[in-house]
Structure 1
Amino acid sequence: MNLFSRKAILTITVLAILFSLGAQTGYTREKNRKYFEERGEAVWEVPTNQKVIALTFDDGPNPAYTPRMLDLLKKYDAKATFFVVGSRVNKYPELVRREIMEGHEVANHTYNHKYFTRMTPDSIKNEIKLAEDAIVKATKRRPLLFRPPGGIYNETIINSAKELDYLVVMWSWHQDTRDWRNPGVKRIVNKVLKNARRGDIVLFHDHGGNREQTIKALEQILPELTQRGYTFVTVSDLLQLRSNLKVDN
C-alpha cells in the first residue's frame, strides 16, 4: 500500500468518525439565507417588477431624530417600516402612534435590543413578546414583522419568531448603510443610490447615537429616488408586490 492510499484511507476514516459523532450528538450544519428564504421564514429583499423600495429604521423611537425623519418621509409621500425597541416604545409611545397615523409600519425589534447569540428559545420569545406588548399598548395594533438585533439569525432565532407568528425581515446586503457608524453623509447616500434595485429593503437607524448624517443623507436620497421613479413602501406592502418575473432596473 503506497503513501497516497494510506492517506486516503485515513481521511475517509476520520470523516466517517466525525459523521458518526455528529449523528450521535444531533449536530446539524447551520442553515443559511437560502434555506430560510426558500421556506418563506425570512426575507432579505423581495423580487418584484414594480419600482418600489422599502426603507427601514431600527432601534427607535428617538425624540430628537425620529420626528425629523418622519417629517422628511411625509414631504416625499414615502412610507417606511420602523423596527422599534419595546423599552423605548414605553418611553415615547406618542412617536410610535405618529408613525402609525402617518401610514408607516411598526415592527418588532425586541424589548431590550439584546443579541440572541447565547439565549434560549424561551428567553428569545420573552424579548419578542415584551416588545409586542409595548407596541400593542401604544398603538392597539399587533406587529407582524420581526428583525433580530444586529441581524444575527439562526434556526433557533427564526423558529422562535415563527412560533410567535412573526416573519423575520432582514435587509438587502447591498443596502446596509452602516449609518450607525457615522461613515459620512456621502457614503450613506452613495450606498443607497448606487445600489438601488426594485424590491430592496434598506437599513437605516433612528436611534443609537447621533443620527444627523442619516437625516442629511435622506435629504438627498428621497428626492433622487423619487425622481428616478421609485415609490417608497412599507415592508408588508412590498411583500404583497412579490413577483416571479425577472427584475430589470
Structure 2
Amino acid sequence: MKRIVLAAACLIVVATVLQALFDYSRLRDRQLFGHLVHRIDTDRPVVALTLDDGPTRRFTAPLLDILDKAGVTATFFLTGREVTAFPEGAQAVVDAGHEVGNHSWNHRRMVAMTPWEVRRQLRETDAAIRALGYEGPLHFRPPYGRKLVVLPWVLARQDRTTIMWSVEPETDLAFDAPPQDLAAHVIETTQAGDIILLHGMYSGNDSSRAALPLIIAGLRARGFDFVTVSELIALEAAR
C-alpha cells in the first residue's frame, strides 16, 4: 500500500512539474535566457503590427494590398520552408518595405529541439530571407510562442531578440470569431507600445484578414501610429 501511495505521489509531483514547465514555456513576457520583447513602455501612441507564417500563394498578396492601401508598415515573421517554396511572395513582402523576421524553418515546436537543430532552423531560415536581398534585422519569434531552455539559450548565444506579443485577438477570442469582434477586441485593449499578433496567410484566417482594415482604421481613430518591431525597440532603447 505504501508503495502505491508513494508511486501516486511521485506521479503527482512529475505531473505538477511538467505542467509548470508547460505553462512557463508559453509565457509572453519572460524566458530563461537572453532578451525578450513582448511590448515596450512608451508615452508615444505607437504600436507594432505583426503577421505570422507564410508567405503563401493565395493570401500574401491580399494582405500586402490591405497594408499598402492603409499605408501601414508591418513586421512579417516568415518560415524558411515557405519562403523557399514561394520566394515571389516573400520578395513582395520585402519589396513593399515591410520588416521581416525569422519564424523557424518549418514551424515545429522548438521546446524539445537539440541545440544543433535550433541552430539549423535559424541558419537556414536566415539564409532564405537574406537571399531575397533583405538587409534589415532578423528578430526571431518562436512557433506557437513556445520556448523553455535550449531555444532561448541558443538565441542568447547569438545575441538575438525573441519577439513575443501583448495583444492576441485570435487566441483571446477565436480564429473564426467574427471580424468585427476581433477588431473591436484589438481596438479596445491595445495600449501604447503594444505588439499585436495576427495571422492571415491561410484559408482558416478569413476573419483575421477581414478584421485587419477595421483594426487599422480603429486604432488610427484612437490616435495610434504603426511602426515596425525594430522601430518599437529603438524607442525603448532611446528612453
Identity of aligned residues (%): 32
Q: Does 1:96 align with 2:76?
A: no
Matched position secondary structure for 2:196 = strand
Match of 1:79 in 2: 73
**Normalising to structure 2: TM-score of the pair?**
0.81
1:77-115 Cα shifts (integer Å, max 9, x gaps): 111000001011012212222222222100000111110
- The letter for the 2-side match of 1:201 is I
The number of equivalent residue pairs is 214
Compute the displacement of 1:162 (Å): 2.5
Matched position secondary structure for 1:181 = coil
Match of 1:122 in 2: 116
* Contact 2:179/2:210, CA 8 A, preserved across alignment: yes
Larger Cα Rg: Structure 1 or Structure 2?
1
Matched position secondary structure for 2:47 = strand
Q: Which runs of 5+ in 2 are unaligned?
A: 1-23
Q: For residues 243 and 87 of structure 1, do their structure 2 counterparts lie closer, same or farther at Cα, with a shift above 3 Å needed? A: closer
Compute the displacement of 1:123 (Å): 1.0
* Contact 1:89/1:138, CA 8 A, preserved across alignment: no
Match of 1:17 in 2: none
The structure 1 segments of at least 4 consecutive aligned residues displaced by more than 4 Å after TM superposition are 30-37
Q: Does 1:144 align with 2:138?
A: yes
Q: For residues 33 and 214 of structure 1, do their structure 2 counterparts lie closer, same or farther at Cα, with a shift above 3 Å needed? A: closer
Q: For residues 115 and 209 of structure 1, do their structure 2 counterparts lie closer, same or farther at Cα, with a shift above 3 Å needed? A: farther
Compute the displacement of 1:241 (Å): 1.2
Question: Which of 130, 150, 153 is equivalent to 2:147?
Answer: 153
Q: Does 1:177 align with 2:189?
A: no
Q: For residues 40 and 121 of structure 1, do their structure 2 counterparts lie closer, same or farther at Cα, with a shift above 3 Å needed? A: closer
Q: Does 1:223 align with 2:212?
A: no
Match of 1:107 in 2: 101
Q: Aligned-residue CA RMSD in angstroms?
A: 2.5
